[in-house]
A and B are shown apart, each in its own frame.
Chain A
Amino acid sequence: MRKMAIAQFAQSAGVESKENLMDFTYRISKEVLDKAGLKRSEVGCVVIASSDIFHSGLSCANAIDWDGAGAFMVEGTRAEDSMFAFIYACMRIMSGHFDTVLVTSIVKGSENPENDTLTGFFADPFYMRPLGINETTAAAMQMREYMQRCNITEEQCAKVVVKNLGNALFNPYAHVRKRVTVDDVLNSDVVSDPLKALECAPKSEGVASILLAAEDKAKKLTDKPVWVKGFGTSMDHFNLGDRDLLNGQLKIAAGRAYKMAGIRNPKKEIDVAEICEPYAFQELLWCEKLGLCGDGEGGKLIDSGVTQMHGASPVNPSGGVLAMNPYVSRGLYRLIESAMQISGSAGGHQVDKKVKTALAHGTHGFAGQCHSLVILEG
């Protein structure tokens, strides 16, 4: 396989920006190119991630924000999920077509209606949509099943929120930064029982950009290349009723990524994991499927403390998606945090241990319909 690395990256903070999406996109794309000392015309290819129609209120037909991402008059394409966009970028380098690819993901949550006004449109229009099925109700049903079948408690789920929002206090790019207790979580409004308001991710701003480069080029563009060792994706049925909500496609996606990266024992070999958990309990369930603990042991995992920022296997030192949820951009945020942990540049949210290998995970669709992950190494 052709070696490739994350050479440079930039991310916007989660707070509301007064700038429009085009200008907001330009600032971050420009920041990455300036860090790399590259002109726009010197970039081989640009891949953009956006969910224009619902998460921007625009049709994608004219690809208006391409200008802001520097994709004008260069080879480019777009994807709806930023982790997938990153994987496309990897393939474009692996194929030998390009030596550099700029991946930019764009969302301005502050402009959008509530998340579930939009996720309701993911439901099929004939029977699910009229029944009020959206991402949150699907997640609540998944959580109930998880609690029942695996004896997971509401307290264990709430502990994920306490940990992640606690970590976010040290991350200047996070959106929600506040200290909360298990009681605060349990006493927050019931959104869709058993899910409480603090267990659901917010709606955030987020433009993130990564410059990916082939080995020789990467070494010229940075002193700290972060190598891509493997990736994997998998997609489940659309229909919730066709799926085992506790045993979806994540194990399969992870198996693909681990095989490519040569990882045999993820629990031992992954130093830090950035996991996409739009709902608190999902961090526990995804950790099981990623092999960071055994099946059904997600509750024990959070109780043990190993996933804390200074634990043996930190999960979401950035604060995760519970602290920052720019819908389609969240995959790139996981990748950027992983790259920061590997290069030792995470500042206040840098974990204690030496990080050689990091895992970045992304998911979208109801109850984790689609999963993707990337393994990075220093």
Chain B
Amino acid sequence: MADEKPKEKPREMRAEVTVPYEMAVGSNWHRFFEGLKEEKILGTKCRKCNRIFVPPRSFCPRCFDDNEEWVEVGQEGRIETWCYSNLMFPGQTLKPPFVPVQVVLDGTDMGFQHRIAGFDLSDFEKVRALVKFGGRVRAVWNKEKKGTIFDIDYFELVT
């Protein structure tokens, strides 16, 4: 009957979606990751606007032309911006707290994203006292190389 109260509250159904993919890294990213194995950070240069892309791009999205020139860029750079992440959620690879950073590596024209680590990150106020907008950082290499972005373990503060 329409006026009868339901015995139970409407339920929620738990759903999870897991789908496997085999994503082509492509020749451009392959060369970048091979460079990391040799502790080199490689970029590409646009012959039209002269910007240096790191990570490298096979083409310049603005000029829409092939980037054919490869260059090795600096392993130190300037902090363009950063944040302090304290939130855990399903699918996140790094365990909080961690410090995402955008670095402009020496000799390049754009921000390169990684993380700052190498000291105790547990207290935000202490982190904020050390990490400075515009400050210098340097890549610290992982001893074990797997050809992934974590071949650079993290960026350390240059003091």
A residues adjacent to B (C-beta < 8 A)? 17-24, 26, 29-30, 33, 39-40, 54, 57, 67-68, 70, 72-73, 108, 110-113, 117-118, 121, 125-126
Contact = CB atoms under 8 A, between A and B. Distances in A.
Given A20-B24, A20-B29, A72-B61, 17 more contacts: A18-B27, A19-B24, A20-B23, A22-B26, A23-B58, A24-B24, A24-B26, A26-B58, A26-B64, A29-B64, A57-B23, A68-B59, A110-B24, A111-B23, A113-B21, A118-B19, A121-B17
Interface of B: 13, 15, 17, 19-29, 57-59, 61-64
Contacts of A113: 19-21
B26 A110 contact: no
Contact of A33 (B19, B62, B64): B64
Contacts of A54: 19
Contacts, number: 63
A32 to B, nearest CB: 11
A108 B17 CA distance: 20
A73 B63 CA distance: 11
Nearest to B20: A113
A30 B58 CA distance: 12
30 contacts: A17-B24, A18-B24, A18-B26, A20-B28, A20-B29, A21-B24, A23-B26, A23-B27, A23-B28, A24-B26, A26-B58, A26-B59, A29-B64, A30-B64, A40-B63, A54-B19, A57-B19, A57-B21, A67-B57, A68-B59, A68-B61, A70-B64, A108-B24, A110-B24, A111-B22, A111-B24, A113-B20, A113-B21, A118-B19, A125-B15
B125 to A, nearest CB: 32
A18 B59 CA distance: 17
Contacts of A21: 23-24
B13 A126 contact: yes
A247 to B, nearest CB: 33
A26 B27 CA distance: 14
Contacts of A24: 24, 26
A26 B64 CA distance: 8
A21 B28 CA distance: 12
B69 to A, nearest CB: 17
Contacts of A72: 61-62
Contacts of A121: 17
A84 to B, nearest CB: 24
Contacts of A125: 13, 15
A73 B62 contact: yes
A70 B63 CA distance: 9
A40 to B, nearest CB: 4
A66 B27 CA distance: 19
Contacts of B57: 67
A72 B27 CA distance: 22
A30 B24 contact: no
Nearest to A16: B24
A19 B59 contact: no
B20 A19 contact: no
Contacts of A22: 26
A19 B62 CA distance: 20
A30 B17 CA distance: 35
